[in-house]
């Protein structure tokens, strides 16, 4: 089911995308990992390791904030399934007439997004309006995805977002998606629904996989 690489151009958006499965390591299909430039594979491997650490740390903080045992959240992400999508948006003189990426939420748990070349373009929908996010130098943008919204029983909201393009500068972004393990059952964490009603029922990851981010 897991695909190791996809190169796509979506009909509703103007960008190109390139997708690699990063983790678990045995899911990597190195045939699709570019060997040029020679540093690519090592750099992506290191990037994968470091982003997995950051995601684990964030999940731990989130669990504490939710008032649940960190292990109960972390075990859903056991194996640290991770994928990387690199997005390339060419400049467009009529930038206000097109979208780089259509509005969507990320299906995964947690996304670490880097606006790689410092050109902003990400927008989130808040109170029905699109808000632009600045590309802070060296900072990740962290998106909560649908799975985390379900696990947290709606306390963390999966954010609707889109990407716009620049009239004369190309834009590159890289999104690392952190997903639950493939045999996980996704539903509100039991500790969160002892006294509060569950907002969503339990579903298995394969029912969910159809709308995942690749």
Interface contacts to ligand AKG, rule CB under 6 A? 85, 87, 101, 106, 113, 121-122, 161, 163, 173, 175, 213
Closest CA to 108 of 21, 210, 212: 212
Binds 173: which of ligand AKG, Fe ion, none (CB < 5-8 Å by kind):
ligand AKG
| Residue 80 main-chain phi, psi, to 5 deg | 50, 55
Nearer to ligand AKG by C-beta: 189 or 208? 208
Nearer to ligand AKG by C-beta: 54 or 124? 124
The closest residue (CB) to Fe ion is: 106
Closest CA to 165 of 210, 214, 132, 200: 132
Binds 13: which of ligand AKG, Fe ion, none (CB < 5-8 Å by kind):
none
For residue 102, the minimal CB distance to ligand AKG (Å) is 10
Nearer to ligand AKG by C-beta: 100 or 188? 100
Rounded to the nearest angstrom, the gap between the alpha carbon of residue 187 and the centroid of all alpha carbons in its chain is 19
Binds 122: which of ligand AKG, Fe ion, none (CB < 5-8 Å by kind):
ligand AKG
For residue 95, the minimal CB distance to ligand AKG (Å) is 14
The closest residue (CB) to ligand AKG is: 173
Which residues fall within 8 angstroms of residue 20, CB to CB, at 6 or more apart?
4, 5, 28, 32, 33, 44, 83, 84
| Residue 144 main-chain phi, psi, to 5 deg | -80, 135
Nearer to ligand AKG by C-beta: 74 or 172? 172
Which residues fall within 8 angstroms of residue 126, CB to CB, at 6 or more apart?
none
Nearer to ligand AKG by C-beta: 121 or 188? 121
Q: Is 154 left (phi over 0), alpha (psi -120 to 50) or beta?
A: left
For residue 164, the minimal CB distance to ligand AKG (Å) is 9
Question: Residues in the site for Fe ion, rule: CB under 5 A?
Answer: 106
Residue 114 to residue 131: CA distance in whole angstroms: 17
């Amino acid at each position: 089911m897991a695909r190791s690489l996809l190169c796509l151009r979506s009909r509703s958006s103007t960008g190109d995308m390139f997708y690699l499965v990063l983790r678990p390591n045995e899911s990597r299909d190195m045939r699709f990992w570019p060997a040029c430039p020679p540093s690519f594979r090592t750099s992506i491997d290191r990037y994968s390791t470091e982003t997995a650490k950051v995601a684990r740390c964030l999940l731990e903080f989130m669990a504490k904030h939710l008032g649940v045992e960190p292990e109960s959240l972390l075990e859903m992400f056991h194996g640290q399934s991770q994928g990387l999508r690199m997005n390339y948006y060419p400049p467009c003189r009529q930038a206000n007439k097109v979208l780089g990426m259509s509005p969507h939420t990320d299906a995964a748990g947690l996304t670490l997004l880097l606006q790689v070349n410092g050109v902003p373009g990400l927008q989130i929908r808040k109170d029905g309006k699109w808000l632009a996010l600045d590309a802070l130098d060296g900072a990740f943008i962290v998106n909560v995805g649908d799975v985390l919204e379900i696990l947290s029983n709606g306390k963390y909201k999966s954010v609707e977002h889109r990407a716009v393009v620049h009239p004369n500068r190309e834009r590159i972004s890289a999104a690392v998606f952190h997903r639950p393990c493939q045999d996980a059952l996704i539903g509100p964490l039991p500790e969160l629904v002892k006294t509060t009603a569950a907002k969503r029922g339990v579903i298995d990851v394969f029912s969910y996989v159809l709308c995942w981010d690749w």
